[in-house]
């Protein structure tokens, strides 16, 4: 068998389940950075490796080598009688899953069964966040619940991945109005992605706004801010490393919305988030940040523009071409944007 799952933690637990087979971990944070349309898996891996390296998530050569090893094992899937996809319900996992479903939909699968395990709850765990919470015995118990992928699931996954990678985000929004029940967690995950577009009211993504709200409520240190914003998520998906970049972004620019209380410059952790100099930073709202929370400031205008990828959509220029109307829960095309 070949097992494919969302990261090293679950991959390591899988090794202790007693289940035979090779294990591949799909460690890409696809909700951050570019995933433009029309790329092969190899081309996407090169682009994603460069993005992750630019985000200080590893040297480019090491990240790329990891991806290429992953891709090589995937390309040899037909040597296995069964391929089992182990994923959960949040945006991080659902994007990895639809990328894989799209890839498998174009392969000759006559010699292998492709099966899926995908859950949003587990007996005895009151607040289920993901497969990483499970021990080997608990993870092993899910093995019998796997189900072979149908053509309908593969088709939906492929359509969803293409929509996610489209330069036109309305393609993705249109998908959300279709029946996606064969992938029961997909719709909520993709809606959460759309909430990362700059808000029509204020220019903040949902993550950025939640950060400002948490700081305004009296939470001031990085780890505490991270934990408090996680609690505001229906299905937490954002790891701590990309989260620090959101914090840093709000602390920089011509008119930042956050500042260090001591007047210093916010610093990212050098190697891990346990560094005391990082953990003990105290953040507070700036005057502009306070204005943002009451709708009197716009994040994009305060930064004099935007340069950000959301899936296949590249928002760049003085104004975002697309914004998320939080009141109507729909994308709005901004007139006059580049």
- What does residue 315 show for φ and ψ, rounded to 5 degrees? -90, 120
Q: Is 270 exposed, middle or buried (0-12, 13-18, 19+ CB in 10 A)?
A: exposed
**What are the tens digits of pLDDT across the range 38-91?**
999 999 999 999 999 999 889 999 999 999 999 999 999 999 999 999 999 999
Tell me the per-residue pLDDT of 181-205, one tens digit each, with 9 for 90 and over.
999 999 999 999 999 999 999 999 9
What is the pLDDT, as a whole number, of residue 56?
Answer: 85
Q: Where is pLDDT greater, at 336 or 64? A: 64
Sequence-distant (6+) residues with CB within 8 A of 270 are: 278
Report the alpha-carbon distance of residue 101 to residue 78 in Å, rounded: 15
Q: Band of the pLDDT at 304, cuts 50, 70, 90?
A: confident
Contact (CB, 8 A) for 144 and 138:
no
At 336 the pLDDT is 73
Task: Tell which residue, 14, 51, 142, 159, has the closest CA to residue 99.
Answer: 159
Residues in the chain: 338
Contact predicate 51/58, CB 8 Å: no
Confidence of residue 273 (pLDDT cuts 50, 70, 90): low
Contacts of 56 (CB under 8 A, 6+ apart): 268
Residue 266, pLDDT above cutoff 80: yes
Secondary structure class of 243 (helix, strand, coil): helix
The CA radius of gyration of the chain, in Å to the nearest whole number, is: 21
What is the three-class DSSP state of 112?
Answer: coil
The residues, any chain, with a CB within 8 Å of residue 112's CB and separated by 6 or more, are: 77, 78, 80, 81, 82, 83
**Residue 316 belongs to what H/E stretch?**
strand 313-317
Across 257-272, average pLDDT: 90
Query: What was the pLDDT predicted at 3?
Result: 98
Measure the CA–CA gap between 81 and 61, rounded to whole angstroms. 32
* Whole-number pLDDT of residue 202: 93
If you search the block for the tokens 């919305």, which residue do you land on? 257
Phi/psi at 6 (5° precision)? -85, -10
Confidence of residue 337 (pLDDT cuts 50, 70, 90): confident
Question: Which SS3 state, helix, strand or coil, does residue 3 take?
Answer: strand
Mean pLDDT of the chain: 95
The model's pTM? 0.96
Spatial contact of 165 and 30, defined as CB atoms under 8 Å apart: no
Structure tokens at 92: 């991080």
Report which DSSP code applies to 150. P
Task: Look at residue 99 in the predicted model and tell me its pLDDT.
Answer: 98
Q: Residue 24: what pLDDT?
A: 97
Residue 253 — pLDDT band, cuts 50, 70, 90? confident
CA distance 164 to 119: 22
pLDDT cut 70: percent of the chain above it: 99
Percentage with pLDDT > 90 across the chain:
94
User: Does position 272 have pLDDT exceeding 80, yes or no?
Assistant: no
CA-based torsion, 180, 182, 186, 188: positive or negative? positive
| Interval 7-48: pLDDT, tens | 999 999 999 999 999 999 999 999 999 999 999 999 999 999
Per residue in 120-173, pLDDT (tens digit) is: 999 999 999 999 999 999 999 999 999 999 999 999 999 999 999 999 999 999
Residue listed under structure tokens 């990483």: 132
Choose among 12, 68, 25, 310: nearest CA to 165: 310
Q: 92 falls in which pLDDT band (50, 70, 90)?
A: very high
Residue 25's beta-bridge partner residues?
5
> How is residue 76 written in tokens?
């040899």
């Amino acid at each position: 068998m070949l097992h494919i799952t969302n990261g090293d933690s679950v991959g390591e637990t899988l090794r202790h389940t007693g289940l035979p087979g090779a294990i591949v971990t799909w460690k890409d944070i696809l909700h951050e950075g570019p995933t433009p349309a029309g790329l092969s898996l190899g081309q996407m891996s090169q682009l994603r490796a460069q993005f992750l390296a630019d985000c200080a998530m590893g040297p480019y050569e090491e990240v790329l080598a990891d991806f290429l090893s992953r891709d090589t094992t995937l390309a040899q899937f037909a040597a296995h009688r069964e391929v089992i996809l182990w994923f959960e319900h949040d945006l991080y996992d659902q994007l990895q899953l639809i990328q894989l479903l799209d890839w498998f939909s174009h392969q000759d699968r006559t010699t292998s069964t492709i099966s899926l395990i995908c859950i949003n709850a587990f007996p005895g765990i009151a607040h289920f966040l993901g497969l990483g919470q499970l021990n080997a015995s608990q993870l092993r118990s899910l093995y019998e619940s796997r189900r072979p992928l149908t053509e309908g699931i593969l088709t939906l996954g492929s359509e969803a991945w293409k929509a996610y990678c489209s330069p036109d985000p309305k393609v993705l929004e249109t998908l959300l109005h279709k029946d996606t029940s064969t992938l029961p967690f997909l719709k909520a995950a993709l809606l959460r992605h759309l909430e990362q577009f700059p808000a029509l009211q204020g220019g903040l993504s949902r993550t950025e706004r939640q950060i400002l709200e948490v700081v305004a409520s009296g939470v001031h240190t990085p780890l505490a801010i991270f934990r408090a914003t996680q609690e505001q998520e229906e299905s937490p998906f954002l790891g701590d490393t990309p989260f620090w970049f959101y914090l840093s972004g709000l602390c920089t620019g011509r008119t930042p919305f956050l500042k260090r209380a001591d007047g210093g410059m916010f610093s990212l952790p050098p190697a891990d988030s346990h560094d005391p100099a990082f953990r003990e930073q105290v953040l507070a709202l700036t005057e502009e940040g306070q204005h943002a929370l009451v709708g009197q400031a716009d994040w994009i205008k305060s930064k004099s523009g935007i340069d950000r990828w959301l899936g296949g959509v590249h928002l760049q220029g003085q104004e975002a071409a697309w914004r998320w109307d939080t009141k109507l829960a729909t994308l709005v095309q901004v007139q006059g944007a580049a």
